[in-house]
Amino acid sequence: MIMRRSSNLQFHSSNYKTLLSSSLFFLLFLSNNSSSSSSSIFSHGFPIKAHVFIYAGCSNEKFQPNSPFESNYNSLLSSLVSSSSQMTYNSFAIGNDSSTISPPPEAAIFGLYQCRGDLATADCSKCIKIAATQIHLACPSSYGASLQLEGCFLRYEHFDFLGKLDTSVRFRKCSPSSSNDVEFFRRRDDVLADMQAGAGAGAGFRVSSSGLVQGFAQCLGDLSAQDCGSCLGDAVGKLKSLCGSAGAADAFLGQCYARYWASGFYPNSSDSPSDDQAGKTVAIIIGVVAALAILVVLLSVCRRAMGPSKY
């Protein structure tokens, strides 16, 4: 298991590595900034910045250029993007011979996408297009990868993971502020219980509120109602055990997630937790470093073009 710690952000995933490349992080930051410049989508009275990057994970195994797997990989991403213009969830299996006993053929690839339950189809399609581009940047030539944006999720693997319950923690985030108010805990627990019951009853997506506490939860579309309820039960348990009395918290598991916040802590609002601001600061610093690196390369090229020194 590989885990990255950064402030109070964590990413967990077996057989996956986290994204540590500064140039890649800078590219995703620029992509997010260009996306967020457009008008926000509103749902239930709150803004949705659907293209904001949350987490990504890549397998350590790499496929070869011009291989049969690469061909199926390109076909899969194309199918996911195309399908997103018609529906907000779909899954595909390409190059898989059903008569072949496990392990699957070398070129087999399985994948799915899903958008938030309150995202319109047109907005879903835009989100998946960006996710497909970012997962290619984040995980070049990887045999498996997953990428979560604020409004959508995309995953592909060399093995068949579709419909199989996965409650491993992929990402969690807890606000640095906390509450000792008994009423807050009562409201929070009401919201979490309602989300678990509502989404787990077959709806797949649930928005809930109680007093100043709001939240939403969602399961992947390939889960049965029973498995969805089980996954959300684990997610709710992780929120309580890992984030304690945090005023806002997110828990993303392999096939579901649950999020809640008290008034003033809505995700991506101007009052978001300080670690979001820290992330922006890190991205700016990385940008400056990348710019300096490019300048050094350009100066080196110019020096070579001028020829050897006469002295």
pLDDT at 13 over 60: no
Crossing angle of the two packed helices 121-138 and 68-83, in degrees rounded to 10: 160
- Which CATH topology does 169-262 take? Killer Toxin P4; Chain A (3.30.430)
In the numeric block, which tokens belong to residue 155?
Answer: 């995953």
Q: Degrees (nearest 5) of the Cα angle 72, 75, 76?
A: 85
Classify residue 135 by its DSSP letter: H
DSSP symbols for 46-95: EEE-TT-EEEEEEES-BPPTT-HHHHHHHHHHHHHHHHTTT-SEEEEEES
Closest CA to 83 of 147, 128, 120, 135: 128
Q: What is the pLDDT of residues 149-160, one digit of tens each?
A: 999 999 999 999
Residue 75 CA to residue 85 CA, distance in Å, equals 16
Output the CA–CA distances (angstroms, integers) from residue 193 to 44, 70, 235, 241, 259, in the order listed: 19, 43, 11, 15, 12
Burial class (CB in 10 A: 0-12, 13-18, 19+), 218: buried
Polymer length in residues for the chain = 311
In the numeric block, which tokens belong to residue 60?
Answer: 């350590």
Close Cβ partners of 297 (under 8 Å, ≥ 6 residues apart): none
Where, residue-wise, is CATH 3.30.430.20 in the chain? 53-157, 169-262
pLDDT band at 105 (very low <50, low <70, confident <90, very high): confident
Q: What is the pLDDT of residues 192-221, one digit of tens each?
A: 999 988 876 667 898 899 999 999 999 999
pLDDT at 97 over 60: yes
44: left (phi over 0), alpha (psi -120 to 50) or beta: left
Among 123-132, 173-182, 297-306, the least confident range: 297-306
Among 21-25, 107-111, 123-127, 297-301, the least confident range: 21-25
pLDDT band at 112 (very low <50, low <70, confident <90, very high): very high
pLDDT at 33 over 70: no
Q: Is the dihedral of CA 174, 175, 179, 185 positive or negative?
A: negative
- Which CATH topology does 53-157 take? Killer Toxin P4; Chain A (3.30.430)
Using the CB atoms, write b or e for 60-89: b if 16+ within 10 Å: eeebeeeeebeebbeebbebbbebbeeebb
In the numeric block, which tokens belong to residue 273?
Answer: 């937790």
Classify residue 101 by its DSSP letter: P
Close Cβ partners of 187 (under 8 Å, ≥ 6 residues apart): 210, 211, 212, 213
Residue 170 CA to residue 18 CA, distance in Å, equals 10
Locate the DSSP E strands across the chain: 2-6, 9-13, 16-17, 41-43, 46-48, 53-59, 89-94, 109-115, 145-149, 152-157, 169-174, 205-210, 213-219, 248-253, 256-262
Classify residue 25 by its DSSP letter: H
Close Cβ partners of 36 (under 8 Å, ≥ 6 residues apart): 49, 51, 52
Provide mean pLDDT across the span 250-268.
Answer: 82
